[in-house]
Structure 1
Amino acid sequence: MTTDVAMDQPGEGRLAHAPSDHPPIARAKVGVVLANLGTPDNTDYWSMRRYLSEFLSDKRVVDYAGWKWQPLLQLVILTKRPFSSGEAYKGIWNTEKNESPLLTITRAQTEKMTERLKALYGDDVEVDFCMRYGNPSTESVLNRMKEKGCERIVFFPLYPQYGSPTTATANDQAFRTLMKMKWQPSIRTVPAYYEHPAYIQALANSVQEAYDGLEGRPSKLVASYHGVPERYLLEGDPYHCQCQKTTRLLREKLGFTQEEVDTAFQSQFGPEKWVGPQTVDHVAELAKQGHKHIAVVSPAFSSDCVETLEEIQEEIHDSFMEAGGETFTYIPCLNDRDDHIEALLQVVNNELGGWLG
């Protein structure tokens, strides 16, 4: 740390040689911010509408011209979709804490990361989390970090594979916040970690543990990733390629054959052609081909959320069963597993090089 501060009390002090009436300042620290997608504040119509409006107005998510898209979004889509999305969230809502599972899990990940980093670096590090859409907002968290004395910040979008609608928009929002600051902290954004050995190992551990707990072995493991329009791939977004490599590395780590593992993509919406195959259709086709027991894992999601807890375990599950499947096993996201936190810690420590230690 470079700021020369004489401490008056824990956590704050005065600049050396400054006048006695100089305002107290926080001791210089390094911040680590875990950034996830987002969550509505509640499941009612207006909470869902605010959340969906922010999400679907993001040019990184839907990049159609605003004059075409916004009237359709505000006057048609957002009159109906908040109801259906609200029902989906109600089915998975953490009623005890009155929040979405994504928020619960991201907080748990942050708490474990805080423990690990505090053990390594003591009070020189500050850890928090933010959401790209909804609360706690990226702006509020980065401002709070700055107020606590974080002159350097590692900003970590929790997406293993880089995607313009995920990693890029999270970084965009962080930089928008910096644009408003008179004194900006230095910031490092964490790159995609889709091939990091510790991440692949944690994925493999979760699959193997799930398989060990089953009476019969699934004949197919489907790695289901969130989809993107095919146009994104053709325009240079590496997401699709990184997903394919994640599946290959996972398969090799598990020692499975190519015939035992498939890659598919979920959550398609809109009229464009998306990368495929679509998970909901693919699992039905597997059932028709005679696969009676399949397992589904979600390597692109760092936390279980509506796309896994509702879409995979209900819509995709039902598609498989209605097509003749018999046993459907969902393997949870890595969430706050210790091996996942270890993987994230290794990624963060790499970015902290030269700043701490």
Structure 2
Amino acid sequence: MAAILANNEPQIAPGKIGILLVNLGTPDAPRYWSVRTFLKEFLTDRRVIELPRLFWWPILQFFVLIFRPGRIAKQYAAIWNKETNEGPLKAITRSQAEKLAAWIGAGGLDSKSHHVARDRFFIAWAMRYRKPSIAEGITTLKEHGCSRILVVPLYPQYAAATTASVHDEVFAALKAMRWQPAVHIAPPYFDDQTYIDILATSIRSGVSRLGFVPDTILVSFHSLPKAMIAKGDPYYDQCLVTWQLLRQELGLGEDRCPVSFQSRFGARQWLQPYTVDKVKELARGGLKSLVVVAPGFAADCLETLFELGIENREIFVKNGGANYAVIPCLNDSELGMMLIHDHVAREIKGWI
């Protein structure tokens, strides 16, 4: 070994910093079998479904994976990005990675892959479920000379079913590697002042472009089973903190800016009030103009575009409401990219 070192120059170049943006995922197509494949991967994650396997597996195989894919495929078809032939969440996450690369410095898109190259950085994006996978993202960052990797789960509020699942997959990928990069996973940003300021600015801007003045702004988060919260998951508390800080920034009381939880699945008790019930209650109570915001989502997806934008609109109007609008998520807007850039910059500050 000494002879080798004496006769050869060191071959280890300074490593790049890799940044991996991660969001939940989407089916490969708005069709039955593609949706079934996505649901199977999603609903076999033990972080997502904590029921005993002997109980859950027959339900999944003989009921959920038979009857749900067809209905959900129709929902995806209603919001599908036909220009890029992919789900909106996937298209937006790609754009977020590309724009983050542009904000960080000069460079170009590697059009042969799901990654954005930089002189000092290499930026990738991944889906927790389906493609491009987290394992592909981690491997590619390492292959492109990244000795340090920042993983950024695009979930403002922590939940074991989302954020911790990203952790699991990242370290599962690393487990298969011989030489491993140093890895840091960015924390949730539910109470970050920049996040709250940008949310409030986005809401004010969105409301100003409507043709009506809302009587109420409903803040809707994705729900979770109450059993998960009872086990110590901080998600519910973090949602409430975001809601309270946002209300304060907007100068609204609970009556004009209530909170609710959407996307309940199964027969168990989930976090309440349910958004669908709250929308119905507001309409039946005489409310005529409603705006809904979803600050728990970093990008628009099935839950915001179809569930909030289509299903809940119909419920509101059917029960006596008149004016209804959903403010878009921050997505890859200038405000959204300001938030992602600020979040990333804070986490890699000690690396540069």
* Superposition TM-score tier, normalisation by shorter sequence: over 0.9
* Aligned equivalents of 1:57, 1:272: Cα separation in 2: 18
Residue 215 of structure 1 is matched in structure 2 by 211
Partner of residue 263 from structure 1, selected from 251, 256, 259: 259
Q: Deviations over 1:72-91 (max 9, x none)?
A: 21222111211111111100
- C-alpha deviation, 1:96, in angstroms: 1.4
Q: Which aligned segments of 4 or more residues in structure 1 are displaced greater than 6 angstroms? A: 15-18
1:104 aligns with 2:91: yes
Query: Which structure 2 residues correspond to residues 194-233 of structure 1 after superposition, within 5 A?
Result: 194-233=190-229
* Aligned equivalents of 2:280, 2:305: Cα separation in 1: 19
- Report the TM-score, using the length of structure 1 for normalisation: 0.91
Residue 82 of structure 2 is matched in structure 1 by 95
Residue 171 of structure 2 is matched in structure 1 by 175
* Aligned equivalents of 1:308, 1:33: Cα separation in 2: 24
* Aligned equivalents of 2:106, 2:201: Cα separation in 1: 25
Contact 2:106 2:119 in 1 (8 A): no
- The percentage of counterpart residues that share the same residue type is 40
CA pair 327-177 structure 1, distance change in 2 beyond 3 A: same
* Aligned equivalents of 1:328, 1:313: Cα separation in 2: 9
CA pair 262-119 structure 1, distance change in 2 beyond 3 A: farther
Partner of residue 44 from structure 1, selected from 31, 40, 43: 31
Contact 2:202 2:335 in 1 (8 A): no
Residue 146 of structure 2 is matched in structure 1 by 150
Q: Deviations over 1:223-247 (max 9, x none)?
A: 1110001111211111111111111
- C-alpha deviation, 1:119, in angstroms: 5.6
Range with bigger deviation, 205-214 or 290-299:
205-214
Partner SS for 1:261: coil
CA pair 179-283 structure 1, distance change in 2 beyond 3 A: same
CA pair 18-130 structure 1, distance change in 2 beyond 3 A: farther
Residue 104 of structure 2 is matched in structure 1 by 117
- C-alpha deviation, 1:118, in angstroms: 2.3
Residue 57 of structure 2 is matched in structure 1 by 70
Query: Cα RMSD between the aligned structures?
Result: 2.0
Contact 2:151 2:185 in 1 (8 A): yes
- C-alpha deviation, 1:176, in angstroms: 0.6
Contact 2:101 2:118 in 1 (8 A): no
Query: Which structure 2 residues correspond to residues 213-292 of structure 1 after superposition, within 5 A?
Result: 213-292=209-288
Partner of residue 302 from structure 1, selected from 277, 292, 298: 298
Count of residues in Structure 1 that have an aligned counterpart in Structure 2: 340
- C-alpha deviation, 1:214, in angstroms: 2.5
Partner SS for 1:201: helix
* Aligned equivalents of 1:258, 1:282: Cα separation in 2: 13
Q: Deviations over 1:260-304 (max 9, x none)?
A: 101100000111111100000101100111111010000000000
Unpaired segments of 5 or more residues in structure 2? 108-116
- C-alpha deviation, 1:315, in angstroms: 1.4
CA pair 49-187 structure 1, distance change in 2 beyond 3 A: same
Letter in 1 for 2:71: S
CA pair 17-215 structure 1, distance change in 2 beyond 3 A: farther
Contact 1:281 1:319 in 2 (8 A): no
